[in-house]
Amino acid sequence: MQSVLQRNDVWRAHQLAPPAHPTHPTGWAALDAALPGGGWPLGALVECSHPAGTLAWRLWLPALRSASAQGQVVLLGLPLQPNAAAWAAHGIDTPRLWCVHTDDDAQTLWCAQQLLGCPSVALLWLHLRHPTWAATQRLQHAAHQARCSTDGGGAWPAPLVLLSVAEAHASPSSAAVLRLHVQPKGPEGLLVWVRKRRGAPRHHPLDLSAPWPWCEWLPPTPRNHAPAPAVDRLPAQPARACPA
C-alpha cells in the first residue's frame, strides 16, 4: 500500500495530490496552501472563470511579473487589454508583453498551439468565448508538450498557461488540471473558489486581500470613478496585434 501511495497519481481522499507538474508560487500564501505543489502548475492548463465584463487582473499580477522576467508574455484574444503604463509601474517588463487579437475561438486555439511551440513564451493568457471539453483538451495537450528556453536567463522548465472564460459560458467539464472562479470583492480583495484540483475538494472560497494598485496612476476620468465592482474592468484597446 505504501508503494502505491508514493505514486504522484494516487492520493488519499482528504489530502492534496503530489504535484504532477513543476510549480511556481502564486504570490498569495493562502492560495499556495490550497494548491498541489504550492503554486501554479507549469506546463499545464489553468482555467479561471469570472463575471462577464471583467478579468482577474489582480489575481495574475504576481505571475505576470515573474513570467516577464522569464521570457515573453502573450495575451491572446482577451476582451480587455492592459494599461501598459500601470503594468510597468507594477514591475512587469512591458517590452516582453504582447497582445494578439483574434476573431473567434478557432483562431484563438490555433494561435495558442503555435505560441506554445515557441520556447521563448513564459506565459500565455488566452480567452475563449465558448469553451468546450475538446478545446480545453487541445490546450492541455499543447501545454503539456510546451517547453521554455533558458537562453534568455529564464529558469521555468515550461510555460504558465492561463485560460479565462466568462462565468456564464464556462463548460461543465474541462481538461484543465486546475479550475478557479474569481469574484471581485470591491477594490480591496478577491474571492477565489477552487473548482477543480488534484486532491480533496474545497467547498469554501479563499478571501484574498488584493487592494487595487492602479487607480492612483490612472488619469481622473469618469470611467475611473465607476462603482467598486467595476475595478476589474479596464477599457479595451483597438483590436489589433501589437506590442502592449
Give the pLDDT score at 7.
52
Give the pLDDT score at 231.
38
Looking at the DSSP bridge assignments, the partners of residue 98 are: 74, 243
Number of domains in the chain: 1
Q: Look at residue 7 and tell me if it is in a domain.
A: no
Q: Look at residue 4 and tell me if it is in a domain.
A: no
Q: Look at residue 222 and tell me if it is in a domain.
A: no
Q: Look at residue 51 and tell me if it is in a domain.
A: yes
Per-residue b or e along 162-175, where b marks 16 or more CB atoms closer than 10 Å to that residue's CB = bbbbbeeebbeebb
Q: Look at residue 2 and tell me if it is in a domain.
A: no
Q: Look at residue 201 and tell me if it is in a domain.
A: yes
Full domain range(s) for residue 26: 20-215+227-243
Chain CA centroid to CA 131, Å: 15
Please give the Cα distance from 225 to 221 (Å, whole number). Answer: 7
Give the pLDDT score at 222.
44
Give the pLDDT score at 21.
77
Residue ranges of the chain whose pLDDT lies below 50: 4-5, 11, 14, 216-231, 233-244
Alpha helices in 27-104, H assignment, sequence order: 29-34, 57-68, 84-89
Q: Look at residue 72 and tell me if it is in a domain.
A: yes
Number of Cβ within 10 Å of residue 10's Cβ equals 11
Q: Look at residue 149 and tell me if it is in a domain.
A: yes
C-beta of residue 65 within 8 angstroms of C-beta of residue 91: yes
Q: Specify the CATH number for the domain of residue 142.
A: 3.40.50.300
